[in-house]
Amino acid sequence: MKIQEYQAKEIFSRYGIPVEKHTLCNTAADVTAAYQREFGTGKAVVKAQVLTGGRGKAGGVAVVNNEQDAREQAQRILGMSIKGLPVRKVLLSEAVDIAAEYYVGLTVDRQARTALLMLSASGGMDIEQVAALTPEKLIRFPIDPFVGMPDYVARRLAFSLFGDKEHALRIGRILQAIYRIYTNEDASLVEINPLALTTGGELVAIDAKIMFDDNALYRHPHLRDLQELTEVEKIEAEAKEKGFSYVHTEGDIGCMVNGAGLAMTTMDMIKLNGGEPANFLDIGGSSNPDKVTEAMKLLMRDRQVRVVLINIFGGITRCDDVALGLIHASEQVKSDIPIVVRLTGTNEEQGRELLRDYPRFQIATTMREATLMALNAKKNLKN
Ligand code: GDP
Ligand code: MN
């Protein structure tokens, strides 16, 4: 689970990591009011709050110099989408005079079965480049879980980044705080990029990123409240409640399949023939018509879906039951999206017979035929 920068900064503050003064705003008017209240005049920073990195490069971070500037930049950033995520909130932050930007990250090294601390004096927006092109500038330290981060370890690590004793002691405390967040909260990533050294000699976390281990969330009910689901994640969560395995992907062919293996194969078939699946959806083993209706509603909520491909293997599942579910669903969910159906196995003839009365359905017998029909249906769509 990811959380927003402002939420991560709240946790940082609680653990004693210095962050700059900031206010969360939902509208440009909020930003203007906060600017007047907190800054009056002078420099501040407006920052998009979205669950992705690279906001700076995308134009989602702006230094502003006066109230009008603040309002204009807030309006602009609140109208943006960054990597497909609409910006709904911004942070108005105190502008920090930066002398140097450091990178500090703590994550899981699955191969080594330890936590891995990464440090770099070349922090900021290009850390991925640094890691790729000059990996020697990104220092990596495995942290022995049985030793953790006592003072002497923190200091030793700190001196690898700073010659100056005062700075090293301060960053040492930040490393210990990061390690406490990582262990206490079951985080899988705690990252500060950049950790700014200000011209006044202070160390401030001006960006904050925390990811939590989903499998440990049950131990932290308070963390669950921090979760802000995207539209897609909301649909995925709802699907889970209804007992479906549903994963949204990038394409436009919505799939409804029974069995995870068949669902994967269906996605492969679509790709093999030059299409892109919009999702993975395994409706499971039962042939309850209501379930089919629910699955259909789910697919129709995804606005990317332009054609639906239904691929059912009837074992215990009866194809006539599935057909009844589909008919029921198409009566409930009004839409003119083409639906290709392939039923095979138990009662497949009866199933197909039921569907024949409804021109809405394009009936196929083999998986390949069904895939080609779906791709063809997409090709024939206007625009
Ligand atoms: P990211 O691009 O999503 O990682 O967003 P960051 O919060 O890391 O901001 C990107 C860059 O904006 C930072 O690396 C800084 O160079 C710059 N920046 C952010 N806050 C401030 C600030 O208070 N003062 C100055 N001068 N630059 C800032
Ligand atoms: Mn950053």
Ligand 1 pocket test target in 98, 104, 127, 210 with most atoms within 8 Å of CB? 98
Supply the Cα-derived Rg of the chain in whole angstroms. Answer: 26
From 3.40.640.10, 3.30.470.20, 3.40.50.450, 3.40.50.2000, which CATH number describes the 98-224 domain?
A: 3.30.470.20
> What is the pLDDT at residue 163?
86
Catalytic status, residue 101: no
Ligand 1, residue 193: give the atom nearest the CA. 8
> What is the pLDDT at residue 383?
66
Ligand 1 centre to CA of 38 (Å) is: 19
pLDDT in tens, 124-162: 988 889 989 999 999 999 999 999 999 999 999 999 988
Q: What is the pTM of this model?
A: 0.78
pLDDT in tens, 332-381: 888 889 999 999 999 999 999 999 999 999 999 999 999 999 999 999 99
DSSP state of 2: B
Whole-angstrom Cα distance, residue 324 to residue 332?
Answer: 12
CB atoms within 10 A of CB 183: 15
> What is the pLDDT at residue 290?
86
Blockwise average pLDDT, block size 10, the chain, 383 residues:
97 98 97 95 96 94 96 97 92 96 96 95 90 92 95 94 91 97 98 96 97 95 89 87 91 95 97 97 82 90 93 91 90 90 95 94 96 96 77
In the chain, list all ranges with CATH 3.40.50.261: 231-382
DSSP state of 228: -
One DSSP character per residue, 243-282 reads: T-EEEE-SSSEEEEESSHHHHHHHHHHHHHTT--BSEEEE
In the chain, list all ranges with CATH 3.30.1490.20: 21-94
Ligand 2 centre to CA of 225 (Å) is: 24
Quick check: 139 and 159 in contact, CB under 8 A? no
Using CA atoms of 10, 11, 17, 19 in order, give the dihedral in degrees to the nearest 10: -20
Whole-angstrom Cα distance, residue 156 to residue 340?
Answer: 63
Catalytic status, residue 191: yes
> What is the helix (H) or strand (E) element at residue 44, kind and residue range?
strand 44-48
Ligand 1, residue 123: give the atom nearest the CA. 14
Rounded to 5 degrees, what angle do the CA atoms 289, 295, 299 make?
A: 145
In the chain, list all ranges with CATH 3.30.470.20: 98-224
Task: Pick left, alpha or beta for residue 259 (phi over 0 → left; psi -120 to 50 → alpha; otherwise beta).
Answer: left
> Which residue owns the Cα nearest ligand 1 atom 10?
56
Domain 21-94 has CATH 3.30.1490.20: yes
C-alpha distances in Å from residue 106, one per residue of 1, 141, 184, 215, 257? 16, 9, 13, 18, 40
Q: Which residues line ligand 1 (CB under 6 A)?
A: 45, 47, 53-56, 61, 63, 93, 95-96, 98, 101, 124-125, 193-194, 206-207
Whole-angstrom Cα distance, residue 345 to residue 363?
Answer: 15
Whole-angstrom Cα distance, residue 16 to residue 64?
Answer: 28
Q: What is the SS3 assignment for 48?
A: strand
> What is the pLDDT at residue 233?
85
Quick check: 155 and 172 in contact, CB under 8 A? yes
Q: What is the SS3 assignment for 31?
A: helix
Ligand 2 centre to CA of 34 (Å) is: 23
Both structure tokens of 169: 């002691």
Whole-angstrom Cα distance, residue 179 to residue 149?
Answer: 7
C-alpha distances in Å from residue 250, one per residue of 75, 80, 86, 374? 29, 20, 17, 17
CATH topology classification for 231-382: Rossmann fold (3.40.50)
> What is the pLDDT at residue 288?
79
Rounded to 5 degrees, what angle do the CA atoms 51, 55, 57 make?
A: 150
CA 54 to chain centroid: 13
User: What ligand is nearest to the CA atom of residue 5?
Assistant: 1
Whole-angstrom Cα distance, residue 186 to residue 214?
Answer: 9
Selection from 62, 64, 96 nearest residue 79 by Cα: 62
> What is the pLDDT at residue 358?
93
Ligand 2 centre to CA of 61 (Å) is: 10
